[in-house]
Amino acid sequence: MKQSVRNLTPQALWSNFADLNAVPRASKKEERVIAFMEAFGNKLNLSTYVDEIGNVIIKKPATIGMENRQTVALQSHLDMVHQKNAGTQFNFDTEGIKMLVEDDWVKADGTTLGADNGIGVATIMAILASEDIVHPTIEALFTIDEETGLTGAMGFKGDLLDADIMLNLDTEDDDELTIGCAGGIDVTGKGTYKASDCPSDSIAFKIQIKGLTGGHSGMDIHKGRGNANKLLNRLLYDINKSFTLNISEFDGGGLRNAIPREAYAIITIQSKEINEFKTFIKKQKVILLNEYKITDPDIELTLTEVVNPSSVLEKSFQDRLIRTIYACPNGVYRMSPNIEGLVQTSNNIARVLVKEGQYAIKCLTRGSVDSEKTDMAMSITSTFELLGATVSYTNDYPGWEPKPDAQIIQLMSQLYKEMFNADPHVNACHAGLECGILGTHYPDMQMISFGPNIRGAHSPDEKVQISSVQKFWNYLLETLKRIPPKA
C-alpha cells in the first residue's frame, strides 16, 4: 500500500509524505516528528534550528541567479488530527498511517490521513532536498500543535525569520488563494455534581448516535452537518419530557476542532415504561434519518440494554444540564456582511463529558471580528454559568486581516489565471490559520495560503486528490521562479 503512494507523481513529494506518515505526530505529542525533521535538515547540511517551543526552522540558500530575489518562508505544521472510526483497531502512538490509493485519491484505512498538513510539510521537504528546483532563499518553518491551540505559532519568536513573503501551504481547495482567516477561543465550562442511587425499578440502556459526517469545525461548520452532542442532548430532552429518565453518564465528541461524529449516554427508564420508550426511540430514529439524510446519510441511533449503573445524576442537576446544552449556541452565528459566503462567527460544542461526579462542556468559538467572537464567547459563558459551571478561556488567537493589494497576491492571482485559464477564488476562510498569529511578529510580511484538494479533514474520511497535488506542486514551483527582486 505504502509503496504505491511512493510511486505517485511528483515522486519526491509523495515519498516524503510516506516517510512523514510513518512517524506518529499527534498534537502535543510531536517529539518524534520534531526529531525526524531536525535529522532531515541536518542530513542535507542545511542550517537547522529547533526553537524552545519545538518549531523547526530549516534555511536553504537561493539557487544560482536567484540571490537578489525576496526571501520566501514556506510554512506548514507538523502535527495532525488523530481520529479513527469506532470499529478500527489502530494505535496512533505506535503505528504509522496505513495509506490507500483509490482512483485519483489517497486516503487512510479507517483513520485520518494527515494530509492536513502533511502534504504541505512533504512539499517543503521536497524543495529543501532538491538539486534542480529554481528558488530564492528559502526559510522553512515547521510549527507544532496547530490543531489543538496553535501553540507553536503562539510561542514562535519574532526574530528567527528574515523572509519578505510567507507561503502557507495549509489550504484545502486548489482553486483558492486564502488571504485572511478567523481567530478563535476555547470556552470550557466545568464543575461537579451530586449523584443519586440508581432507581431499583428501572432498566439501563446505552443510547448512542454515531455515523455522522463530522468534519472541520471551521471550514465545514456552514454545511448543516449534525453535531452528535447536540442531537443526543435533544433526544435526552424529549425523553425527559415523556418518561422517567435518569442519566448516569454522557460522553460525546472529542477534538475541539472537529464536528462531533459520535456521542452516547447511559440512562435508565422505569420498567413499566420500556415498551412505550422503545417505540418512541424508533420514531425518533426515523425523524433523525429524514432530517439528516443529505448531510449525514450514515447516521445511526442505537439503543442497547446494559447493566444498571451504580448511580445517576441528581434530578435537578440533570434537568439543568440538558437545558444548558440545549441552549448553548452551535453552528453558524453570523455570516460576513462583507465577503459573500464567508462564515463570520460560529461555535462548535466539541466535547461533553459527564461522569463520576464531574462534568465538562468544551466549545471552540471562531470569529473573523474579534469583538463578535468575544460576544459569542460571553453568550456561551452566560449559559454555562446558569448551570453553575466555572468557565475558562484558552487558546485565544487573533484573525488574519486580508490585504488583497499585496504584491504576492497579485502575482499569484495572475499566475493562476495564466497557468489554468481561470480566475482563482481569492478569499478569507473560517479557520484558524497560523498566518494570523505569525503576522503579529512580522506585520510587514506578505502572506498567502494555498494547497491541494483535501476532503474530510479531521475525520477518518480524510483524503487528498492526486491530480490536485500535481497541480499545486507545479503552481508552487512556478511561483518560486517568479518571486520579485528585493526592494
Tell me where in the chain the CATH 3.40.630.10 domain(s) lie.
2-182+399-481
Under CATH, which architecture does the 2-182+399-481 domain have?
3-Layer(aba) Sandwich (3.40)
Q: According to the model, what pLDDT value does residue 3 have? A: 56
DSSP 136: S
Q: Which residue has cell 507523481? A: 9
Contact call for residues 361 and 325 (beta carbons, < 8 A): yes
Is the omega angle on the peptide bond into residue 117 within 30 degrees of 0, that is, cis? yes
Active-site choice (79, 220, 396, 462): 79
Q: According to the model, what pLDDT value does residue 2 have? A: 47
Options 3.30.365.10, 3.30.70.360, 3.40.800.10, 3.30.1490.190; which CATH number does 185-397 get? 3.30.70.360
**Residues paired with residue 7 on neighbouring β-strands, in sequence order:** none
Positive or negative torsion for Cα 12, 422, 224, 342: positive
Tell me where in the chain the CATH 3.30.70.360 domain(s) lie.
185-397
Q: Is the pLDDT of residue 75 over 50?
A: yes
The CA radius of gyration of the chain, in Å to the nearest whole number, is 24
Q: Which of 265, 346, 350, 347 is nearest to 313 (CA)?
A: 265
pLDDT band with cut points at 50, 70 and 90 for residue 90: very high
| Tens digits of residue pLDDT in 334-368 | 998 877 888 999 999 999 999 999 999 999 999 98
| Tens digits of residue pLDDT in 371-430 | 999 999 999 999 999 999 999 999 888 888 888 889 999 999 999 999 999 999 998 889
Q: Count Cα atoms within 13 angstroms, Cβ side, for 469.
A: 28
Active-site choice (146, 147, 164, 176): 146
Q: According to the model, what pLDDT value does residue 401 have? A: 80
Which of 206-210, 289-293, 398-402 bottoms out in mean pLDDT, i.e. has the lowest? Answer: 398-402
174 is catalytic: no
What would the DSSP string read from start to end of 319-376?
HHHHHHHHHS--EEEEE-SSSTT-EEEEEEEEEEEEETTEEEEEEEEEESSHHHHHHH
Distance, CA of 450 to CA of 478 (rounded, Å): 14
**Residues paired with residue 247 on neighbouring β-strands, in sequence order:** 267
- Rounded to 5°, angle at Cα 177 from 171 and 180: 80
3-state class (DSSP) for residue 469: helix
| Tens digits of residue pLDDT in 211-235 | 999 999 998 999 999 999 999 999 9
| Tens digits of residue pLDDT in 112-148 | 999 999 999 999 999 999 999 999 999 999 999 999 8
What would the DSSP string read from start to end of 170-190?
--S-TTEEEEEE-EEEEEEEE
146 is catalytic: yes
Instruction: Look at phi and psi of residue 268 and say left if phi exceeds 0, alpha if psi is from -120 to 50, else beta.
Output: beta
Distance, CA of 38 to CA of 168 (rounded, Å): 20
